[in-house]
Amino acid sequence: MKSWIAFWNILIKDMRNYYLKPPNISWGLVFPVAWTLMFFLKSSTPVDVRELLPGVMSLSILFGTTSMLAVTMTFERRSRSFERLLLAPLDLNFLMLAKTSGAILFGLVNAFVPVLFASFLTDLSGIQWLPVLGAVFLIAVTSTLLGLFIAVSVKEIFEAQTFSNFFRFPMIFLCGLFIPLQTLPFFLRPLSYILPLTYGADILKSSISQNGHHGLLVNFMILLGFSVALFALSMRNVKRKWIY
């Protein structure tokens, strides 16, 4: 019971101190919205909002989670406040789950802001909401754990920001968010299939616009595999680099 009280307090503290700040909320939303507006302005033909929605949702989650966690974890490590948490009588795995839960929730909320906007522009009937919810959750988890992996791999905040962009911006073009994987050059396609966002976006496409290319079960299993692998790798780095 005491562990869950600690979990809740860590989550509330992170949400209050980091995730609910206006600049942080806007960063997770401004870039995806700006990217969408670019499509509307550059396209000479009417834009299908339902076709764009999976990509915008994926970007909202990706930028919201990785931006927050990579920077906040690096900041706490540099200010040595994370070391005080390590002194608490909590299992390390449980502690890291508490630290990542805020980013996951932030990503979940970010994902449905584009859905709210889209509801005013098009008919959203026929969407399979259960797979959408599962995909949004797993995209948030894998993106958050990617942010954790980045945080434990650098020492400075500016390094975390740079390293985050090293992963995020290629994902915009390689994960099938707006550019179909089939149109990518042949030598780039293997990169697409080693990025977890590819499979999350495919679930959203299958559920929203019926344009997915892989089976839902395959996508969910791969995303679960990425989640376990990223968490294990991040915990390994935490134990090696942060705990002396």
Q: What is the pLDDT of residues 16-49, one digit of tens each?
A: 777 666 656 666 566 666 666 666 565 556 667 7
Q: What is the pLDDT of residues 46-88, one digit of tens each?
A: 667 788 888 888 888 888 787 777 767 777 777 677 767 766 6
pLDDT for 35:
62
Return contacts of 152-160, CB within 8 angstroms, 24+ apart: 152/73, 152/234, 152/237, 152/238, 152/241, 152/242, 153/237, 154/74, 155/74, 155/77, 155/78, 156/74, 156/78, 157/71, 157/74, 157/75, 157/78, 159/74, 160/70, 160/71, 160/73, 160/74
How much of the chain, in percent, has pLDDT values that exceed 70?
Answer: 80
Asked if 150 and 233 touch (Cβ cutoff 8 Å), the reply is no
Q: What are phi and psi of 143, to 5 degrees?
A: -70, -40
For residue 167, give its domain range.
Answer: 2-242
pLDDT for 24:
60
What average pLDDT does the structure give for the chain? 79
CA distance 147 to 68: 8
Q: Which residues, 6+ apart, have CB-to-CB distance to 37 below 8 Å?
A: none
Q: What is the pLDDT of residues 173-228, one digit of tens each?
A: 888 887 888 888 888 888 888 889 999 989 998 888 887 778 889 999 999 999 99
* Per-residue pLDDT band at 103 (split at 50, 70, 90): confident
- Which range is most confident: 32-41, 124-133, 158-167, 170-179? 124-133
* Per-residue pLDDT band at 146 (split at 50, 70, 90): confident
Altogether, the residues listed in the chain come to a count of 244
pLDDT higher for 29 or 136? 136
Mean pLDDT along residues 108-137: 85
Total number of domains constituting the chain: 1
- What is the pTM (predicted TM-score) of this model? 0.86
